[in-house]
Structure 1
Amino acid sequence: MAHRLFEGKEHAACYWKYRICPSDDLIKYVIDFVGKQKGGPLELAVDVGCGSGQGTVQLAKYFDSVVGTDISPAQLHVALEHAKEPNITYRQCMAEELPFADGSVDLITAMSAFHWFDRPRFLQEVHRVLKPHGCLALLNYTIQMELSYPGCCLQSLNQVCKELYATLDPYRSPHLGANSIELYREAYTCIPYTNKEWNDCVWVKRPMPLSSYIGLIESFSNYQAMLRDDPQKAMRLSQDVCQRLMSVMKVTSAETEVMVGVRYFYILAENDLS
């Protein structure tokens, strides 16, 4: 069964404010992959598990129509609040039961969402709705991000981050196993298409205020699990980590900008069996 998380209004708002999406370069790589296989116009993209819609928006300039789908009304409400592109719409549905006709979709994406689906059922649904030579793109990133700051010891800075990740690890959902990358690697081997790509290490650097890095961590499922279990413990953890990072950086404001290195991994696959 699919796992339903991230559905509260506060969590959805946190998603929109802090969650990161793939870099423009990575999205362009996906689009180039689709273009090579499809040829001709790109009519319809579907972003499954779209959350508050950041990734959905990135697809809008490449397709005649883009549809973001999610199971959470709260997430879709936030997405609609920020919807500006006229060719984007949103639908509430399960990832495993997509409301699209057979062979009607040029690209299906799932950005930081596939690991929560009923993966075999979702992949069957993908095959049903993809056009011949339509494509699937599954993208995600690891929580083990790396920080850098001018004049700061990287080892000391990232030791604080490593301790944070270790503290959150016991709250990781059993559904995800020990390592999400392995879930995607397994999916790659199960996808029956011949033309497919797997890359487990694409580093993207993003500048953001230290407070936004903390907010990003707080949006993750393991932090949210800690927050439900012991709200005071979770809030103390956020405050302590922020203070420790500021101390290592020798700054006094959580709005100080840091560089955050994010490790992405992805699967691209063409429906070459139709």
Structure 2
Amino acid sequence: MALIFSDTEYSAHYQKYMLPASEKMVQMMLSYLITKKGKPFELAVDVGCGTGRYTRPVAPHFEKVIGLDISESQLNKARRSTSEKNVLYHTSPAEEMPLKDASVDLVFAGLAAHWFIIDKFMQEAARVLKPGGCLALHAFIPIFEIQYQDVSETLTAIITETMNVLFKYRDKTSDVMNNQYRELFEAVPFADKQSYANIFMGRWKEAYNWAHGPFGANLVLWKRYIDDVLCVWRASEEDLVKFKDYLNTNN
């Protein structure tokens, strides 16, 4: 785990500013699970749950949901933010889940699996999943595009070149994400598996094309993929919160 996740101040900012889970992503997981296993949905486990960003939205669909993380700082935020009675949080590494064999319907990890020891995690996921249970791993990759007057193409080329240079010094976890989880997909120990890449959230793109509205002038860079938004904002924090509320209302 990156040391930053154990920092209380970081966890507070993560909880405050990280955008909530994508309902489309949740529905994709549920649709796959119902096709492969069917109901009832008894137990889901969010591995590397952080502050519970995906734990809570999954809760209405299962009898019980467990969030696991090794960061007490993240889990403390998750517990304080969770009102769902069927959600529990435990301190646990992804590679040693405190769960019985063949007891889980869905094991999932949103923006977390690249931190795991992959082979050990896959073995553990296979151990705890029920026959027909599903494993879902998802994240996002940054694709840089700047929209600004008549110099959008030039600015996009500059930031892309800059990021390509910086990426040479990134760690292995960044490589896993940038490769769109291909390494993780290949490590999944099940014959029946599917991979989805470049799943773009079209209606969020429309929110950017709505740039003539009250927020558009403040957006310098914008990309929305299945898990998060990447944007550069040049106005007040108060206006950013209003813009986030608009997006969450129009997901």
The alignment's TM-score, normalised by the length of structure 2, stands at 0.75
Aligned residues: 223
d(CA) in 1 for partners of 2:97, 2:165: 37
Uncovered stretches (5+) of structure 2, i.e. residues with no partner: 209-214, 223-230
2:15 equivalent to 1:16:
yes
Match of 1:187 among 184, 187, 194: 184
The equivalent residue for 1:94 is 93
Specify whether residues 161 and 15 from structure 1 end up closer, same or farther in structure 2 by C-alpha distance, changes over 3 A only: farther
Specify whether residues 159 and 85 from structure 1 end up closer, same or farther in structure 2 by C-alpha distance, changes over 3 A only: farther
Alignment check: 8 A CA contact 1:144 1:165 kept:
no
Deviations 1:186-210 (A, max 9, x none): 2212223122111121112376976
Larger RCO: 1 or 2 (CA < 8 Å, sep 6+): 1
The equivalent residue for 1:169 is 167
- 1:62, distance to aligned residue in structure 2 (A): 0.8
Alignment check: 8 A CA contact 1:45 1:67 kept:
yes
- Residue type matched to 2:40 in 1? P
The equivalent residue for 2:153 is 155
The equivalent residue for 1:7 is 6
d(CA) in 2 for partners of 1:161, 1:89: 42
Alignment check: 8 A CA contact 2:126 2:189 kept:
no
Name the structure with the higher strand share: 1
d(CA) in 2 for partners of 1:197, 1:91: 29
Specify whether residues 177 and 87 from structure 1 end up closer, same or farther in structure 2 by C-alpha distance, changes over 3 A only: closer
Uncovered stretches (5+) of structure 1, i.e. residues with no partner: 215-240, 247-251, 261-274
d(CA) in 1 for partners of 2:175, 2:40: 41
d(CA) in 2 for partners of 1:192, 1:138: 13
- Residue type matched to 2:120 in 1? R
- 1:40, distance to aligned residue in structure 2 (A): 2.4
The equivalent residue for 1:196 is 193
Query: Percent identical across equivalent pairs?
Result: 33
- 1:23, distance to aligned residue in structure 2 (A): 1.7
Secondary structure at 1:31 match in 2? helix
- 1:164, distance to aligned residue in structure 2 (A): 6.8
- Residue type matched to 1:136 in 2? L
Moved more, 188-197 or 202-211: 202-211
d(CA) in 1 for partners of 2:84, 2:161: 41
The alignment's TM-score, normalised by the length of structure 1, stands at 0.70
Deviations 1:171-194 (A, max 9, x none): 622x22645243721221222312
Specify whether residues 55 and 158 from structure 1 end up closer, same or farther in structure 2 by C-alpha distance, changes over 3 A only: farther
- 1:6, distance to aligned residue in structure 2 (A): 1.5
d(CA) in 2 for partners of 1:74, 1:131: 31
Moved more, 96-105 or 83-92: 83-92
- Residue type matched to 2:186 in 1? T
Alignment check: 8 A CA contact 2:69 2:92 kept:
yes
Specify whether residues 66 and 164 from structure 1 end up closer, same or farther in structure 2 by C-alpha distance, changes over 3 A only: farther
Deviations 1:42-77 (A, max 9, x none): 000000001111111110111111111100000001
- Residue type matched to 1:191 in 2? V
- 1:161, distance to aligned residue in structure 2 (A): 5.3
d(CA) in 2 for partners of 1:118, 1:141: 19
Deviations 1:154-173 (A, max 9, x none): 43664575467457536622
Alignment check: 8 A CA contact 1:115 1:183 kept:
no
Alignment check: 8 A CA contact 2:37 2:132 kept:
yes
d(CA) in 2 for partners of 1:31, 1:152: 43
